[in-house]
Amino acid sequence: MTSTPDTIVLVHGFWVTPRSWEHWITHYENKGFRVLAPGYPGFEVEVEELNANPDIITAVTVPGIIDKIETQIRELSKPPIIIGHSAGGAFTQILLDHGYGAAGVAMNSAPTEGVKVVPLSQVKSTFPVLKSPANRHKAVGLSLDEWKYAFTNTFTDEESKALYERYHIPANGGILWGSVLANFQPGHQDTWVNYHNDDRAPLLFVSGSEDHIMPPSIQRSNAKHYQSKATTEHIEYEGYAHLLPAQKGWEEIADTVLEWALRHAR
């Protein structure tokens, strides 16, 4: 390691916004880090406005998301630690493959291109979007029951409802359909990464054992795809659901992944 990172970039997933990182931002700032939690293009507004105007969500693309985050990282004086959750985990992998970051952490990550593990719980969790090809052109929300199954199955009903009301927005159906079709189309798609990239920064996968939408089997398969000399590791937390960053005990996970990232930062 040539220089200790002083900035942490937090990348959110679908059906939520940067607000989902609110407690992690405070936690890491209290440790002396600069913390950035960039929203997707157009997500500079709050949850309530995105729910009122989902056309903003429909306009988002993966290249647009990556370009926006890379632009912000290039303005930093030294490479940051990049931590992504769900789709943000896939974006973290892409950013590392593009040469960004001192170390990366992908928590309950969406799969990158080539990962073909599709557990039944994932099929059920994503069915609200994938049940109709017409959803490729829409922003599709989850009902409270669908949110509970996909994101907060280990939370109490009261906790699940409170998080739904504070964090939930519709997701871009086009990107979700694109990730499903990526393994069946010729050439590189939006979520492609070079699994043989020896110059990539170290990468840690984190699984919640009870995650329905991105179960540990997906994380294990994604990690095994990496065949480079760059460090790739995987840890699993028992009893955690998909919305791991908001589940009781998240502070221990935040500290553990930060320690790992600082120890492995290049």
Tell me: the pLDDT tens digits for 21-71? 999 999 999 999 999 999 999 999 999 999 999 999 999 999 999 999 999
In a domain, 1, yes or no: no
Secondary structure (DSSP) of the chain = --S---EEEEE--TT--GGGGHHHHHHHHTTT-EEE-PPPTTTTS-HHHHHH-THHHHT--HHHHHHHHHHHHHTSSSPPEEEEETHHHHHHHHHHHTT--SEEEEESPPPPTT-----HHHHHHHHHHHT-GGGGGSEE---HHHHHHHT-TTS-HHHHHHHHHHH---EEHHHHHHHHHGGGSSS--TT---TT-TTSPPEEEEEETT-SSS-HHHHHHHHHH--SSS-EEEEEETT--TTGGGSTTHHHHHHHHHHHHHHH--
**Domain membership of residue 141 as a residue range:** 7-264
Count of structural domains within the chain:
1
- What is the pLDDT confidence band of residue 1, given thresholds at 50, 70 and 90? very low
In a domain, 122, yes or no: yes
The CATH number of whichever domain residue 178 belongs to comes to 3.40.50.1820
Proportion of the chain above pLDDT 90, given as a percent: 94
The pTM assigned to this predicted structure is 0.96
In a domain, 2, yes or no: no
